[in-house]
Amino acid sequence: MKRICVIGGSRYFGRVLVQRLQATGHRVTVINRGSTRPPAGVEHLVADRDDEAALITALGSRSFDVVVDQVCYTPVQAAIAARAFNGRTRRYVMTSTIEVYDPASAALPAVPPGTPVPEETVDPATWLVRTDLTWHDAAYLQAHYAEGKRQAEAVFAQHYGFAFATLRSAHVLGGGAAEFTGRLQHYTERITRGAKITVHAEALPTVFVHYEELADLLEWAATRTDATGPVNACSDGLLDVHGLGAVIAAQTGRKAVYRRVAAGEPASPFSFDRHYAMSNARARELGFTFSHITDWLPGAVAEALAVTASATS
């Protein structure tokens, strides 16, 4: 049994993670701002992670075997957490994103199209940290989401106060109404209505992960491995926007209709004009086995279609 702290953990795959940790006998503490309570039996600390003094006060004298950080988006947030948990935990696991590899958001080593992107493409141990930028500004953060994640990873990787692992999640799907991004819903609604979907003329494939599989990987990282550094989290199999549309069309009996735009122009979610689909080879080498996207995507689409039908009935 481990003593595990989850920062966030109130919705989607974070909530599933908390439930699974609790079900397997671990002592779980959830830290959030209090808007959502964790399941019964899970300790709940109410604090704003952006307020260092409040976070330290809420922690009191507690210590943990592992901290799982679900909601770290900036190097400022990471620096606060690194100081607050220094001496309180042996291991820190951060949920990151495939977007750290987006070549449109940073000068990154070139990866040939079609080659799965490995973790070493972005090394947090050497990445420059700029806590003086306007990370507190919501518009700035939204525009620099990928860089915020890269720099947050870098703060922890360069902190040395505890072992650190970062799980770089692919695009997360599944969960029906629980899927708060609304991206899959965008496709199910438009294909159901016969509306056009804006895609790039040469849309490139990307990688996905089911929300329950991501929760499995986080549980594994917190309790069953001592691996450190970046680990990519994606199901096997590449999929482009047309393949996604085909799965939805097959279940609706409707044809997906596309409006094509040139590279560089705005398009629907999951239409990419640049390559950065990840490799999951490192996670496999460490002992985690992923499903194939075809194992779960039809079910995720069925859930999204049920939500669409409910919303329009």
* pLDDT reading at 164 higher than 90: yes
pLDDT exceeding 70 applies to what percent of the chain?
100
For residue 308, the model assigns a pLDDT of 87
- Name the helix (H) or strand (E) containing 84: helix 75-85
Confidence bin at 10 (pLDDT 50/70/90): confident
Whole-number mean pLDDT of the chain? 96
**Average pLDDT value for residue range 103-114:** 91
**The two three-digit tokens of residue 174, written as one number:** 């599944």
Site of tokens 């990873």: 153
**Average pLDDT value for residue range 253-267:** 96
pLDDT exceeding 90 applies to what percent of the chain?
92
**Average pLDDT value for residue range 284-296:** 97
- Return all residues near 53 (Cβ < 8 A) that are at least 6 apart: none
Cα(225)–Cα(278) distance, rounded to whole angstroms? Answer: 21
* pLDDT reading at 311 higher than 90: no
**Average pLDDT value for residue range 169-175:** 96
The answer to whether 283 touches 232, Cβ cutoff 8 Å, is: yes
* pLDDT tens digits, one per residue of 16-73: 999 999 999 999 999 999 888 999 999 999 999 999 999 999 999 999 999 999 999 9
User: DSSP string spanning 228-272?
Assistant: -EEEEE--BS-B-HHHHHHHHHHHHT---EEEEE-TTS---TT-B
For residue 177, the model assigns a pLDDT of 85
In order of their start, the domains of the chain are 3-312 (3.40.50.720)
pTM for the whole structure? 0.96
Site of tokens 């039908």: 309
The answer to whether 26 touches 56, Cβ cutoff 8 Å, is: no
C-alpha 80: how far from chain center: 21
Question: HSE of 189 in the Cβ direction (CA atoms, 13 Å)?
Answer: 13
* pLDDT reading at 302 higher than 90: yes
**Cβ contacts of 51-57, under 8 Å, gap ≥ 24:** 52/80, 52/83, 52/84, 55/31, 55/80, 55/81, 55/84, 56/84
Cα(81)–Cα(66) distance, rounded to whole angstroms? Answer: 13
* pLDDT reading at 312 higher than 80: no
The answer to whether 20 touches 6, Cβ cutoff 8 Å, is: no
Cα diameter, the chain: 59
Site of tokens 């494939």: 205
Going through 77-207 in order, the beta strands assigned E by DSSP cover 89-97, 163-169, 171-173, 196-200
**The two three-digit tokens of residue 113, written as one number:** 């199209």
What letter would DSSP give residue 50? T
Query: What's the length of the chain?
Result: 313
First vs last C-alpha separation in the chain? 47
The answer to whether 154 touches 124, Cβ cutoff 8 Å, is: yes
Cα(217)–Cα(184) distance, rounded to whole angstroms? Answer: 22
* pLDDT tens digits, one per residue of 182-240: 999 999 999 999 999 999 999 999 999 999 999 999 999 999 999 999 999 999 999 99
- In this predicted structure, which of 177-181, 189-193, 209-213, 256-260 has the lowest mean pLDDT? 177-181
* pLDDT reading at 5 higher than 90: yes
Confidence bin at 114 (pLDDT 50/70/90): confident
